[in-house]
Structure 1
Amino acid sequence: MILENIQIDRAGGRGVAVGKTSDGKTVLVRGAAPGDVVDVRVVKRHKNFFEGRVDRVVTASSLRVAPSCAHTESCGGCPWQHLGYPSQAEFKASEVEEQLVRVGGVPRDGVVWNPFISAPVPFRYRNKTEFSFTFNRWKTRGEMDANPDSEHEPGLGFHVPGFWDKILDVQDCHLIPDYGNEIRNALRDEAIALGLSFWQPRAKVGALRTAMLRSNQSGDWMLIIQWGEHPGADGFSLMHRMAERFDRLVSLYWGLNEKVNDSMYDVDLHLFYGVETLEETMESAFEGGRALKFLISPKSFYQTNPQQAHRLYSEALRAAGLKGGETVYDLYTGTGTIALFMAQVAGKVVGVESVREAVDAAFRNAERNGITNATFEAGDMRRIFTPEFVERHGQPDVVVVDPPREGMHPAVVSELARIAAPKLVYVSCNPSTQARDIQMLSETYEVVSVQGVDMFPQTFHVESVVLLRAKSPENH
């Protein structure tokens, strides 16, 4: 079904643009830009709205730009690459405000809405990327029409949107540095030259399954290869070739994954070559502080845009407004990045994280940086963050939360409301769940300020830092 001549009025959430049919039904369109007039191919019909993708651009918006990446039409990694970056930033700022006002009940008046912080570098910013091997790469319609009898061709790249078993072979991903693309392309080509089999997701067979690249701002690289079967002589030869070919590839791991899923977080990894970890240095996040060093292991969490991560943490610290001597809780602490910066001012910082390996890394990072007033606990947040936890560590002056995309469990929200720390700094990568949680806290807290930060240019993802202040008891 084609809807013709749909006027696109505005940007919506999660990368869609919004228009209306002649009879007033809403149309959510992927690949469109505000100001476009497009024909829309409907992919899903609902009672009151349609979902679709651009079939033809009738009249192009002035906001449109030519995508830099040759893979844009098939790869879902950069859904906003057809928009100029200033427009992307504008739409992200609007999304943060819209969610907080509409879902969170945050008033527009009486709240400090700080200017949105755009990314200074809109491409080549990622320090971590995961790829999948495939025995039969995805081919575009044009490729199929030109060569309908083509044989299976191996590839290494990203999942095609909507297909768990289809992989787009990537030559140049514009979100990672050039050196990373060189490593990935060499890995694929060397594996083909050695005759190694690539993964068949439906049959669950093949030697090479996934690859992950990590890097630091100094230009050191780590490669982690997951094998679907033991590497054997040819597999070890492949890893030798990669280590010899790239002098900035300082760490190479491999693991055997015979599970149904591709996740490597419960796979034993073996260091094949080089150092165990990368080291990342982050400059001080506040005036008068000092730079911190963090160890990055294959499985540890670290923000994928290090330059903007520094800005995000600086904003979290600014919102906390520490004067010295405070007790701070850092919930969902990861490897302790925010906690360790705050520990330079606070009297005591207590970090909580569900992933044991991340907590171990947080302790190592604290020791590495000579920080002795930060401690960390591992466990399910809703089970560890209890009245007993508060009794052990003392009533906090400031609580910082940085939960995953799904936001906080209601039990965590309830405990935050119960203890009613004077300040709550909510760092989020999902404005909709952040707004939901803030609404749940609205009897106890009021929003003071909002700061949007773009960590992921070319995508619809956005971070926001919200400062909440506990209401006086009579206003609860």
Structure 2
Amino acid sequence: MKIERLAWGGKGMARMDDGRILLLSAPLAIFPGEQVVAQVIWKPRHGEGVVQRWISANPKRIPAACPVALECGGCDLWEAGRQAPELKRQMVEDLFRRQLPAAKEWRWLPAPENTHRHRIQLHWDGSCLGFHQRQSHRVVPIKSCPVAAPCLSEALPRMEEALKERMLPTRAQRWELATGTPAGQVYAIAENGRTWTLEPDGWHSSQDPIRHTFGRRTWAHRAGGFFQVCAPWAMEAFQDLLKDWEFQGSTLFDLYGGVGLFSGLLGDRFSQRVLVEADEAAVAWAKKNMEAQGLSAQCVAEDVEAWLPARLGEPGDGILVDPPRAGLAPGVVARLLEAGADRMVLVGCDGAAFCRDVQRLSEGWELVDLAAVDLFPNTIHVECVGILRRRMA
């Protein structure tokens, strides 16, 4: 069967002779035009399957730079090489064309070639350290990771050695390996939040925060707390978009504000800011970060849906919403439709949920500009960002 195009989620769309549609996935990148053999399970109206082998591969396909590319579930686009950004752009184009047909133009921000992950999630099963196998909980042992920041990749053998020698907790569990910006100090965080830093003589227990510096601003957060995976590129991309869109005004309502990334990036472009976040630990760091950056802010530790008033803000104010992957709850959408602020930036790490939320908000908000940012290189995931304007009554 021949791949006609790429659909959202990295699926290759093919068609049977009788017109029935197939959506195919693969452990490696799929290119339009390739001929493949796939194992298919038929649904009532279409088929879904997994590519078993390639009959005719795209000439631009290159050997994977990772020895466990076929097994590891951490990446989706090995063998795409420099074509990976274009394949992702095609996936996003398919999504926007189908879900947001009124958005005729949108901006694509591919990740720079040197973009690396500053956080990776590992698993220790009692005998080996690595990533979960694709669609499985079996651990694929790794000695290095080409998509991780070099300092994290180089720390992997030392971490495995410390686990085997019982210098770190040896029970089977999930670990996070992280570094700040610029990359340097390596942190190992266990499931229970206990943290160790890697020093020349080994791993040492630590309570130090992780710090990310961008320009003149620095954000700190507890080790294991949420921050962007590819932090330097994320900060650069978001700052450029918000500047190009001239997002500024009187009061900024930073909803799902975390440790204050967006409040800090916007700096003094708003006279005052209100940050709302359910994670109390993140809010404590947001207060410290805003104070350290010389920005006055009211930081509220409360669930956004519970906190949202019936009419949020007034003309001249801005709302920035960065919800969890599932997107906006119906109650949040209802309150935003009543808001008094006249500009809003919506961020979404799941494209389908983002488009759904834009559609739900369209009764009161008009999508003015749209962008997709590749914040997760070598995967099928992107960050969608849109700026909306309040519709006139």
Asked whether the two chains share a fold, i.e. TM above 0.5, the reply is: yes
* 1:402 aligned residue (302, 319, 322): 322
Hey, what does 1:276 align to over in structure 2?
Answer: 208
Aligned pairs for 1:42-441 (under 5 A) are 42=40, 44-85=41-82, 87-108=83-104, 112-114=105-107, 116-121=108-113, 125-135=116-126, 154-164=127-137, 166-193=138-165, 207-218=171-182, 219-226=184-191, 243-245=199-201, 252=204, 272-273=205-206, 276-283=208-215, 291-318=216-243, 321-322=246-247, 326-372=250-296, 374-387=297-310, 390=312, 397-441=317-361
Using the TM superposition, give the Cα deviation of residue 191 of structure 1 relative to its aligned residue in structure 2, in angstroms.
Answer: 3.0
Identify if the C-alpha distance between structure 1 residues 48 and 195 changes in structure 2 by more than 3 Å, giving closer, same or farther: same
Quick one: structure 1 residues 358 and 196, their matched pair in 2 at CA, closer, same or farther if it must change by over 3 Å?
closer
**Which whole-Å CA distance do the structure 1 matches of 2:354 and 2:172 have between them?**
39
- Shift, 1:431, TM fit: 1.7
Q: Distance between the aligned counterparts of 1:410 and 1:196, measured in 2?
A: 44
| Partner SS for 2:385 | strand
Distance in 1 (alpha carbons) for counterparts of 2:112 and 2:72: 24
- 1:300, 1:335 within 8 Å by CA — same for their partners in 2? no
Structure 1 residues 322 and 53, CA, compared in 2 at 3 Å: closer, same or farther? closer
The aligned amino acid for 1:308 is W
1:299 deviation in Å? Answer: 3.0
Provide the C-alpha distance between the structure 1 equivalents of 2:315 and 2:288, rounded to a whole number of angstroms: 26
Q: Distance in 1 between matches of 2:49 and 2:103?
A: 33
Cα distance change on mapping 1:81 and 1:406 into 2, 3 Å? same
- Match of 1:73, SS? coil
Identity of aligned residues (%): 26
Matches of 2:156 and 2:121, distance apart in 1: 10
Larger Rg: 1
User: Which residue is 1:27 aligned to?
Assistant: 22
- 2-structure distance, mates of 1:467, 1:352: 20
Letter in 2 for 1:217: T
Deviation at 1:339, TM superposition (A): 0.9
1:149 paired residue number: none
Give CA-to-partner distance per residue, 1:125-179, whole Å, 9 cap, x none: 11111211114xxxxxxxxxxxxxxxxxx21111112223x11111221111233
Q: Note the C-alpha offset of 1:312.
A: 2.8
Deviation, 1:407, is: 0.8
Conserved 8 A contact 2:175-2:190 = yes
Distance apart, 1:394 and its partner CA: 6.1
- Classify the secondary structure of the residue corresponding to 2:9: helix
Aligned partners of 2:4 and 2:33 also within 8 Å: yes
Describe the superposition over 1:47-92 as per-residue Cα deviations: whole angstroms up to 9, x where unpaired: 222222221111111342211101110012111112133x332233
Three-state SS of the structure 2 residue aligned to 1:387 is coil
Question: For 1:441 and 1:7, how far apart are their aligned partners in 2?
Answer: 38
| Aligned mates of 1:300, 1:197 — CA distance in 2 | 20
Specify the alignment match of 1:264 in structure 2. none
Q: Report the Cα offset of residue 395 of structure 1.
A: 6.4
Distance of 1:344 and 1:299 partners within structure 2: 29
Q: Contact conserved, 2:7 with 2:95, CA < 8 A, in 1?
A: no
Q: Distance in 2 between matches of 1:197 and 1:347?
A: 47
SS in 2 for 1:321: coil
**1:319 CA drift (Å):** 5.3
Give secondary structure in 2 for the equivalent of 1:64: coil
Unaligned runs of 5+ in 2: none
Q: Are the counterparts in 2 of residues 16 and 29 from structure 1 also a CA contact under 8 Å? A: yes
Counterparts of 1:380 and 1:346, CA distance in 2 = 23
- 8 Å CA contact 2:109–2:237 kept in 1: the answer is no
Q: How far apart, CA to CA, are the structure 1 residues paired with 2:114 and 2:34?
A: 23
The DSSP-based 3-state class of the residue aligned with 2:24 is strand
Question: 1:38–1:58: 8 Å Cα contact kept in structure 2?
Answer: yes
Provide the rounded CA distance (Å) in 2 between the counterparts of 1:330 and 1:94.
31
- 3-state DSSP of counterpart to 1:7: coil
